[in-house]
Amino acid sequence: MLVAISVFALLLVSLTGLMNGAMMATTGGFKHMNADTQARMALDRIALDVAKMIRRSDVDYYFKKNASPGNDQMAFYSEASGYYPSTSKTVEQGNVSLVGYRINSSNQLERLSKGLVWNGVSTGGTPMVFLPQTITGTWTSIAGSGTDADYQVIGDQIFRLEICFLVQNSSFNNGVATLSDTPYLTPDTTYNGLQDVVAIVATIAVLDTNSRTILTPAQIQAAANLLPHQTGTPTVSVPNPMPTPPSTAWVAPVNAGLGLPRVAGSQVRIYQRYCYLNLVQ
How does pLDDT run across 241-268, given as a tens digit for each residue? 777 889 999 999 999 999 999 999 999 9
* Boundaries of domain holding 204: 28-276
Size of the chain in residues: 281
pTM recorded for the entire structure: 0.83
78: left (phi over 0), alpha (psi -120 to 50) or beta: beta
Give the pLDDT confidence score for residue 94 in this predicted structure.
64
The answer to whether 79 and 153 have CB atoms below 8 angstroms apart is no
- Whether residue 5 is contained in a domain is answered as no
- Whether residue 22 is contained in a domain is answered as no
- Whether residue 270 is contained in a domain is answered as yes
- Whether residue 6 is contained in a domain is answered as no
- Whether residue 69 is contained in a domain is answered as yes
Segment 148-161 mean pLDDT:
93
Segment 45-62 mean pLDDT:
92
- Whether residue 58 is contained in a domain is answered as yes
**pLDDT beyond 80 at 123:** no
Neighbours of 15 (CB within 10 A): 10
Whether the ω angle into residue 132 lies within 30 degrees of 0, i.e. cis, is yes
- Whether residue 8 is contained in a domain is answered as no
Give the pLDDT confidence score for residue 279 in this predicted structure.
60
Positive or negative, the CA dihedral 120, 122, 123, 124 is negative
- Whether residue 203 is contained in a domain is answered as yes
Closest CA to 148 of 88, 99, 79, 77: 99
What total number of domains does the chain contain?
1
